Amino acid sequence: MSWIWSALMPHPPILVPEVGNGRELEAAETLRGGGELAVRVKDRRPDVLLVLSPHQPYVPGALFLNASTLFQGSFAPFGAPGVVLSPASERRDQEVLNARLSSAGVPIYTRPSPDLRTDQGTTVPLYFLRRAWDGWLPSVVLASPIGLTPEQAFEMGRRLADLNDGRRWALLASGDLSHRLTPDAPAGYAPKDGPAFDAAVEEALRQCSPEPLLALGEECIENAGECGLRSVMALLGLTAELGGEIQIFSHEGPFGVGYCNALWLAPEGGEHRAAEQAPAPVRLARETVSRLLTGQPLPGGGDEVVPSLLWKERRACFVSIKQKDGALRGCIGTLAPAWPSLDREIIENAVLASTRDPRFPPMTAAELGGVVFSVDVLSEPEPVEDMGQLDPRRFGVIVSKGLRRGVLLPDLEGVDTVEQQVSIAAQKAGLYSLDGVKFERFRVERYKEPPFEAELRG
């Protein structure tokens, strides 16, 4: 169980009654929409709430990840010092998030920043969620995506989809839309680009696709004077991977600023992987083999089967196929990219794993319902000086001497020690002594098909 919901919420302090003193009613549609959203998540309390706030510290070219474990926030800068929020963050939750995104190549900068008094991007949504949850708040992990490009923010959201540490996570994408909707708007007036940006956000949410926003162009986005684009893109990346729909509860522009409340909910029980779909890489691997074994043309690429910015990458990967009892049925991969894009890498390795693994006969179409696919996307291997720098849970290993080379993926059942991992890799290389060998290690992003996914397809 991992992501149970993801929400876009605005963050003007004037919405808080103690700050607005009646003026919050000028944003009545936003208050109504936020109230409906709060009702929908009232009984869906996460163990961890990831908040993407544009008012956390800005780090050019990176996601800022707040390393504080206790925060102090109030609305004192907005005239309401008596309204105080003190959320807490578990270190392990920060580490889980950091490890997941770092292994996926997302640039991260982390340091403590406990003062939330000027971060209305965090405090305003938490004010309303805390009220819905009767004064309770979960562990809160705070981050700012402002240093990322919109494309990077979308990709980050995608990479979050496979975070699964056995806990219930929710994503709060905090962000206001254009600040230039009317002549009296606080950041000036952009009569064309402000409304165009807001309309594109709404259409992107309805389509669960970044395309309406990517089509705007940098000039329109700059002129719109927004602060929520990257939060929205991260939400779209996450939901694009998990499937389902985003419901828009409200969208209006009081005070010349666009405010939108929107929510994605996982199916009841949170088991979205089973109820919706496997991760995109394994969907592509299964689709490839299914077409191959039934005499159909192979997929034309990521745009045809699983649209995603992921396919613009050039990465090495392994495709593994296992039977229901866990027995290997085929596994072929590359240590360096052999094709121009990752979709082609997956397609070609899926073909080889299903029909050209010399250890097994070629698969038949009759077997498709009884096997499970996984795809490991590799980082670039790095040399290590000695075995002390290896870890069979975190790193795969390459053992080589001369032209002989053996590879073993990380986190395999029954491989619990470095010695076991190195011994198996050396045997695969035909090496029976470690004298003079070279070691390299690599990380993987592992995408798995749910064990019962194959049965549902059979």
Whole-number pLDDT of residue 326 = 86
Burial group, residue 417, by CB count within 10 angstroms (0-12, 13-18, 19+): exposed
Please give the pLDDT value at position 164.
75
pLDDT tens track for 2-46? 899 999 999 999 999 999 999 999 999 999 999 999 999 998 999
Q: Which distant-in-sequence residues (6+ apart) come within 8 Å of 13 by Cβ?
A: 19, 20, 75, 78, 120, 123, 124
Do 376 and 409 meet the contact criterion of CB atoms below 8 Å apart? yes
CATH architecture of the domain 278-457 equals 2-Layer Sandwich (3.30)
Instruction: State the amino acid at position 271 in one-letter form.
Output: E
Q: Which of 116, 100, 123, 115 is nearest to 172 (CA)?
A: 123
Residue-level pLDDT at 170: 97
**Alpha carbons 441 and 450: distance in angstroms, whole number:** 27
| b/e 98-119 (16+ beta carbons within 10 angstroms → b) | bebbbbbbbebbbeebeebbeb
Q: Give first-to-last CA distance, the chain, whole Å.
A: 24
**Both tokens assigned to 302:** 């990521």
pLDDT at 124: 98
Q: Which amino acid is at 270?
A: G
Where along the chain do the CATH 3.40.830.10 domains lie?
3-273
CA 390/CA 384 separation, integer angstroms:
8
CA distance 286 to 374: 9
Amino acid 198: pLDDT = 97
DSSP string, 302-339: HHHHS--GGGGS---EEEEEEETTS-EEEEEE-SS--S
- H runs (alpha helix) in 379-441: 418-428
Using alpha carbons only, give the angle 161, 165, 167 rounded to the nearest 5 degrees: 95
How far is C-alpha 437 from the geometric centre of its chain's CA atoms? 38
Cα–Cα distance measured from residue 293 to residue 299, given in angstroms and rounded to the nearest whole number: 13
| CATH code assigned to 3-273 | 3.40.830.10
Q: 56: exposed, middle or buried (C-beta count within 10 Å: 0-12, 13-18, 19+)?
A: buried
- Each residue of 322-340: pLDDT tens digit? 998 889 999 999 988 999 8
Tokens of 100: 């997941």
Residue linked to tokens 């992003």: 445
List per-block mean pLDDT (blocks of 10 residues) for the chain, which spans 458 residues. 90 97 96 96 92 97 96 96 94 89 90 97 97 93 97 94 83 98 94 97 95 94 96 95 92 97 79 50 89 85 48 84 91 92 93 96 88 90 88 90 89 88 89 87 84 41
Output the pLDDT for position 309: 46
Assign 428 to helix, strand or coil.
Answer: helix
Q: How far is CA 436 from CA 208, 292, 426, 433, 442, in A?
A: 53, 43, 12, 8, 20
Q: At what angle do helices 229-242 and 150-160 cross, to 10 degrees?
A: 40
From the list 13, 107, 30, the residue with the least C-alpha distance to 64 is 107
> Hey, which bits of 98-232 come out as E strands?
108-111, 139-144, 169-174
Residue 304, both tokens: 């045809």
Distance CA 329, CA 323 (A): 6
pLDDT of residue 275: 33
CB-CB neighbours of 154 under 10 Å: 27
**HSE-CB for 53 with a 13 A CA cutoff:** 24
Q: What's the pLDDT at 435?
A: 85
CB atoms within 10 A of CB 182: 16
Residue type, 169: W
Q: Which helix (H) or strand (E) holds 155?
A: helix 150-160
Calpha distance 422→74 (Å, rounded): 54
Ramachandran angles phi, psi of 419, nearest 5°: -60, -45
Q: For the chain, where do the domains classified as CATH 3.30.700.20 start and end?
A: 278-457
